[in-house]
Amino acid sequence: MRHSVSPMTTPSSSEGHWVGGIGRVGDADTAYPVAHELIRRFNDGMNDRLACPHLQTNPDQPQFWVEAVPELIACLNCTATLAETEQQRANSCCVMCGRHDALRGVTVTAGGVVMRGGVCADCEASAGIAL
Ligand SMILES: [Zn+2]
Ligand SMILES: [Zn+2]
């Protein structure tokens, strides 16, 4: 079996269109500054965000969002698209200070949306995630 592999993965029209319309997330009941920052960024970009086709047909499922790819929101099966886009972009920056550095991944869930961002070592303490 040969598989054709395309080097670029973008939201594909063969799977339908990615459109906007996913609602706003309320403030999480959390003491973590990084959670507030991720939610703020998520809400800031909500007006021009594209949702994968599956979220349109079945919005009643977890939604995934990556801070480095703020314009897309995906269902679980489409998180590969988010990850590949993130890798191609390779511009992930610390959510707290904006530095492009080695980051520890942080995941925040609020309002049915799983939000992921990265925090650098210097900011782990202030972000509330230092161990
Ligand atoms: Zn999907
Ligand atoms: Zn930082």
Contacts of 12 (CB under 8 A, 6+ apart): none
Band of residue 13 on the pLDDT scale cut at 50, 70, 90: very low
Q: Is the per-residue pLDDT at 84 higher than 50?
A: yes
Give the pTM. Answer: 0.77
Distance, CA of 68 to CA of 117 (rounded, Å) = 7
Ligand nearest to the CA of 15: 1
Assign residue 95 a region (left: φ > 0; alpha: ψ between -120 and 50; beta: otherwise): alpha
Taking the C-alpha atoms of residue 120 and residue 111, their distance in angstroms, rounded to an integer, is 26
CA 120 – ligand 2 centroid, Å: 4
CB-based neighbours (< 5 A) of ligand 2, an ion: 94, 96-97, 120, 123
Pick from 65, 29, 59, 62: nearest CA to 46: 65
Find the 15 Cα to ligand 1 centroid distance in Å.
Answer: 9
The ligand that comes nearest to the alpha carbon of residue 126 is: 2
Rounded Cα gap, residues 60 and 10, in angstroms: 24
Residue 61 contacts residue 113 (beta carbons within 8 Å):
no
**Chain segment 46-66, per-residue pLDDT in tens:** 778 999 999 999 989 999 999
- Domain boundaries defined on the chain: 27-126
| Separation of CA 114 and ligand 1 centre (Å) | 14
pLDDT digits (tens, 9 = 90+) for 64-80: 999 999 999 999 999 99
